[in-house]
Amino acid sequence: MKMRRHYLLLLVPLLLAATPPKAPDTILTGGSIITMAGDEAASVEAILVREGRIATTGSLEEVKKATRGKAETVDLKGRTLLPGFIDAHGHMGFVGQNAAMAQLQPPPVAAVDSIAKLQEVLRDFQRPNGMPLIIGNGYDDSQLAERRHPTRADLDAVSATVPILLLHVSGHFGSMNSAMLKLVGYGPDTPDPQGGVIRREADGKTPNGVVEETAMYPIVKILTPPSVDVAIAPLIVGAKIYAANGITTGQDGRVMPESWGALDEAAKRGLFPIDVVALVSFEREWKDDVRARIGKGYNGNLRIGGIKLTLDGSPQGRTAWLKDPVPVPPDGQKAGYAGYPAIDLKLFNEKLADAAKNGWQVFAHVNGDAAAQALIDGVRANGLAGKRTIAIHSQVVDRSELEEMKALDIQPSFFANHTYYWGDWHRDVALGAKRADFISPQATAWSLGLRPSAHNDSPVVPPDMLRLVWSSVNRRTQSGDILGPLERISVYRALQQVTINAAWQIGEDKEKGSIEAGKRADLVLLDGNPLAVDPSELHKLRVVATIKDGKTVFGSLGD
């Protein structure tokens, strides 16, 4: 017995050495700490972070009393601490992919404002080693001097032999040169797919290089990386870009079966600095092991939040499904054109019924009011009332639709930056003044008791959460017009939309979205107080540091 006891005593130092020491408590104080914990703005003097969670909040004296052992105190130096931003809708993987493409966005993101400038950027683009294509991202026909999409003839002038693919800023259109059309397999006899358009030349048959909506699906397959390891790299880039913008929970908002393996593997390897909520594209078929994870918890910073269905297209691209015609039809369309659905409605309702049967949350892309009504009807008909369906974008919805959404627990996530990036275009071309004034009707949604969130739909626009807050508050267009002044909301409401409301919409508000005892220490430090600056200057605030589960994943608290 004595020998056994002696043996155990010898093991104790080894067991202690194998147990990693716990990180010391950390006190954050010396700045504005906005908790976002209630419906009115509230601040505390200090918070205590312990083992990745917020242990307590309150006065500095109260927090000091709650510490265990020696605590590290971090002086915020007058800056402002908020809950980490939550990406209510975006495409994190595409953010990383697009960082390696030719940047074709117009000002203020890049400088491409004409087809000649676009051609110049493409000619100067240095393809990464081994890339057989020239790929450009973010061209915007609404901001080009010619006010049209670049065609195959425009791109053949850059290269007639190297395949060229351009992705529209909305993600709903592509433009290809002749070599790329051949690679995809699009020719004069190729029919338009269900929910998409292959635009044609004057003969009505020859593809002119521009494709819409589901006609882009073959492109997605071509862009799929050849291996999991190659596919993981842009996912990590995207996650780091998100972290640099103060986002502690990102979203990959339309994951295809071809890309799921890389996303899951990156999470298994512990490569994500932030949490990632994936939405599986439910127009596609999924294996049972993936279906079993829908709506479940995190595995290595990754969870499948729900299913994604896409009902229509892009309002700035004039493919959103509207009840009334667009003022200026796009090329190839006649007067009376009002967009179109991107999915067969029978299939759509079958997918909703599948979600209801399995208790899955539904996230539906709806830009136009006709699309919004189809979602409302589908939720009502398929047993999804009260299940917190998320209507992504909700750009063109009227008050009666919002009232129906409230009754059915369909919560809008507004692409609020549309007012800045395309407000003038919507007013003059895509929607007309009346509908444009009611685009992203955040104030009305709040007044009806809905709990809206807001998003950037990155990489459609950069994941700049402070520009997003600024747009929600000011609704100012690039020309300086205020689009729908009655739909402006307060700064605090705008902050709720990217913190606690965004957490609530995905069912994570008990863990995230506010600075409260017991919640995860997901935080963002800003160089100024958004509740104190001039609202017109909100977009000038900058992220100093991003903290995920108590660890700094971007910047520095000490700078």
CATH number of the domain bearing residue 74: 2.30.40.10
Which residues touch 58 (CB under 8 Å, ≥6 apart)?
A: 44, 45, 46
Query: Which residues 6+ apart lie within 8 Å of 522 measured at CB?
Result: 83, 84, 248, 249, 275, 512, 547, 548, 549
- 79: in domain: yes
Tell how strand 275-281 and strand 302-310 pair up: parallel
In a domain, 399, yes or no: no
Q: Is residue 36 part of a domain?
A: yes
Are 215 and 101 in the same domain? yes
> Cα-flanking dihedrals φ and ψ of residue 316, to 5°?
-70, -25
266 assigned to some structural domain: no
Beta strand spans in 311-409 (E): 362-366, 389-393
Domain boundary among the residues 172, 202, 223 is at: 223
User: Is residue 78 located within the same domain as residue 44?
Assistant: yes
Return the structure tokens found at 75: 């002086």
Q: What is the separation, in whole angstroms, between the first and last Cα of the chain? A: 58
Same domain, 197 and 118: yes
Q: Tell me whether residue 67 is in a domain.
A: yes
Same domain, 128 and 209: yes
178 part of a folded domain: yes
Check whether residue 128 and residue 216 sit in a common domain. yes
Residues 217 and 102 reside in one and the same domain: yes
Of the candidates 223, 241, 265, which is a domain's last residue? Answer: 223
Number of domains in the chain: 2
- Look up residue 73 and give its amino acid: T
> Do residues 77 and 113 both lie within one domain?
no
Please say which residue of 188, 223, 258 terminates a domain: 223
**216 and 121, same structural domain?**
yes
Domain that holds residue 45: 25-84+514-559
Both 204 and 122 in a single domain?
yes
pLDDT digits (tens, 9 = 90+) for 527-548: 999 999 999 999 999 999 999 9
User: Which pTM value belongs to this model?
Assistant: 0.91
193 and 75, same domain (yes or no): no
Is the domain of 157 the same as that of 59? no
Task: For the chain, 559 residues long, give each residue's pLDDT as a single digit of tens.
Answer: 444 454 444 444 544 455 556 789 999 999 999 999 999 999 999 999 999 999 999 999 999 999 998 999 999 999 999 999 999 999 999 999 888 899 999 999 999 999 999 999 999 999 887 788 999 999 999 999 999 999 999 999 999 999 999 999 999 999 999 999 999 999 999 999 999 999 999 999 999 999 999 999 888 777 778 889 989 999 999 999 999 999 999 999 999 999 999 999 999 999 999 999 999 999 999 999 999 999 999 999 999 999 999 999 999 999 999 999 999 999 889 999 999 999 999 999 999 999 999 999 999 999 999 999 999 999 999 999 999 999 999 999 999 999 999 999 999 999 999 999 999 999 999 999 999 999 999 999 999 999 999 999 999 999 999 999 999 999 999 999 999 999 999 999 999 999 999 999 999 999 999 999 999 999 999 999 999 999 999 999 999 999 999 999 999 997 7
Does 250 fall in a domain?
no
Beta partners for 545? 525, 555
508 within 8 A of 249, measured Cβ to Cβ: yes
- CA separation for the pair 73, 67 (Å, rounded): 11
Coil, strand or helix: which one is 26? strand
User: Are 131 and 189 in the same domain?
Assistant: yes
**Residue entry with tokens 């780091």:** 240
127: domain CATH number is: 3.10.310.70
**Is 352 a member of any domain?**
no
